[in-house]
Structure 1
Amino acid sequence: MLRAQVCSTGELSFLMEAHDGLSAAIAERAGFKGLWASGLSIASSLGYRDANEASWTQLVDVVERIVDSTTLPVLVDGDSGFGNFNNARLLARKLRQRGAAGIALQDSCFPKMNSFLGERHPLAEVDEFSGRLRAVKDTTGPDLVLVARTEALIAGRALDDVILRAHAFADAGADAILIHSRKSTADEVLSFAKAWRNRVPVVIVPTKYYRTPVSAYRDARISTVIWANHSMRAAIVAMRRACDRIIAREGIASIEPHIAPLEEVFQLLRYDELARAEWRYLYPDDPRK
């Protein structure tokens, strides 16, 4: 299902960020057809910085909860693979075992730093990163969608260099190229898409150029748009407001109309299924069934 979304140059698809099982269930309920297990959002929800402070095993554990909480395919932000080719293929194998549908690896050095912080964003050598991609592809085959994410625009490289890197990554087996930019307009990514000519599908993350209309991506034949961190950021605002009001008023009466009722929590996490299962397995002969 994820392959049909990410690897298509036809209809534009959208992936919504998830950082735990609850955010995944909310995204599915909203109508999204696929999820992005965001490295930034997962690290933030664990209290870590987006600088590979969370381990790959912690990432895999969170992804398992996301997968178990939804029926949607999950593309995992694998950062740079947490090391060399061996770390990357181990991560990919474990993610496949936990039910992930795809992994995105970026051509950054380990440990990575969030794309929107600072000016130093050293890139991996093309041949070395291509080896990471080949190792993942040899390990998982067609079972895991492999997205190669280039940070070359983030690092200030010229478009010609970006294109060369993308070609090398496609040659190494990438199913799609994620082209990242931190400009406030989409000019860089749209120029890439035009020069790239859809050799393999293009994935974008318009966190900074959010004012660009979606029609521009359709016109450029972009494959997939990732809304990369918005559930986590929305949660911060909502939790901060609730905490501020509770401590100021020393009570919860004023916030109760503005937060989800417990019934919605029970519905999202399917407590009704548990109740039906109890009747089936604990009380199979009860006449009240």
Structure 2
Amino acid sequence: MSTRKQLKALVAARRGVLVPGAFNALSARVVADLGFEALYVTGAGITNMWFGLPDQGFMGLSDIADHTARIRDAVELPLIVDADTGFGNALNVRHTVRTLERAGADCIQLEDQVAPKRCGHFSGKEVISTEEAVSKIKAAVDARQDQDLLVMARTDAAAIHGFDAAVERAQKYAEAGADILFVEAVTREEDIRALPQRLAAPQLMNMVIGGRTPIFDSRQLTELGYGIVLYANAALQGAVAGMQKALGALHNDGVLQESAGLVATFAERQRLVGKPALDALEIRYA
């Protein structure tokens, strides 16, 4: 079964599949190695980790396409790819979908913010008109070459126009052809519980550690009927914490050993990047 068909089946099952974010090929390898069933190519993670900048629209199409292609080569999991606002109008969205589909995306996420976008859990967001957003979703649906490629529509309208307005927008995006709906930055527990009852299409719920949305565990969200439970930047936050601990110890002590338990072993690092398999190939082709 193709990764796109796998993802369609996962979403349709509505069993709250846990999907962590990856910000490069090695983090994607860790996600796959731990047994997760899909991963999210995170725009915030790429912006933070590669540019050292906040998630405020600094990532471009070529950046996310390059990372998607590298991650596609590294793992065989279904890839949900964060395409921000689609990088322009409906025609730009068409080009974005074509580009990311070629790069190996299995689902492309588009949001309705005004460009330059910002993290869904930041203040100061603005959204485009519902009509413009609908036209961009239609363009995305029409642009895909493979009908198994999924389109996810995200709305950030709850922070600007309120929860009911966000639900209304999401419904219109579903009518425009979106396969998955994503209402971002829901701030009340009762609204998280209500969403699967108010929208028929499969939905993603974003669990942002330290963000504005109350944290539910995946079992609760499965019982509510969510298809995907996203932890877009858990790996990033864990990596930053790990770097701070390891380098803090090095700075304080002047030495760092594997036995301290603060770093992956040399052997584990080589395993994750596939060195044993490449060694075998080197012998085969010698």
Q: TM-score scaled to structure 2, two decimals?
A: 0.91
**1:84–1:68 distance in 2 versus 1, CA, 3 Å:** same
**Alignment partners' CA distance in 2, 1:165 and 1:99:** 28
One-letter code aligned to 2:245: R
Structure 1: gaps spanning 5 or more residues: 283-289
Count residues in correspondence.
276
1:275 aligns with 2:276: no
In the other structure, the counterpart of 1:146 is 151
1:30 aligns with 2:59: no
Alignment of 1:74-85 (within 5 A): 74-85=79-90
1:234, CA displacement in angstroms?
A: 0.5
1:27, CA displacement in angstroms?
A: 0.7
One-letter code aligned to 2:59: A
One-letter code aligned to 1:168: K
1:4 aligns with 2:9: yes
Please say if residues 14 and 228 of structure 2, whose CA atoms lie closer than 8 Å, have aligned partners that are also in contact. Answer: no
**Alignment partners' CA distance in 1, 2:93 and 2:122:** 24
Alignment of 1:1-289 (within 5 A): 1-6=6-11, 8-46=12-50, 47-118=52-123, 120-141=124-145, 142-159=147-164, 161-183=165-187, 185-196=188-199, 198=200, 200-207=201-208, 208=211, 209=213, 211-253=215-257, 256-282=260-286
Q: For 1:110-137, what per-residue CA distance to the aligned partner results, in whole angstroms no more than 9, with x for missing partners?
A: 110111112x221111111111111111
* Secondary structure at 2:239 match in 1: helix
Deviates more, 1:231-240 or 1:186-195: 186-195
1:259, CA displacement in angstroms?
A: 1.0
**Alignment partners' CA distance in 2, 1:233 and 1:217:** 22
1:51, CA displacement in angstroms?
A: 1.1
One-letter code aligned to 1:206: M
CA RMSD of aligned residues (A): 1.7
One-letter code aligned to 1:236: V
**Alignment partners' CA distance in 2, 1:269 and 1:175:** 34
**Alignment partners' CA distance in 2, 1:254 and 1:163:** 50
1:210, CA displacement in angstroms?
A: 5.3
Please say if residues 16 and 226 of structure 2, whose CA atoms lie closer than 8 Å, have aligned partners that are also in contact. Answer: yes
Identity of aligned residues (%): 25
- Structure with higher Rg: it is 1
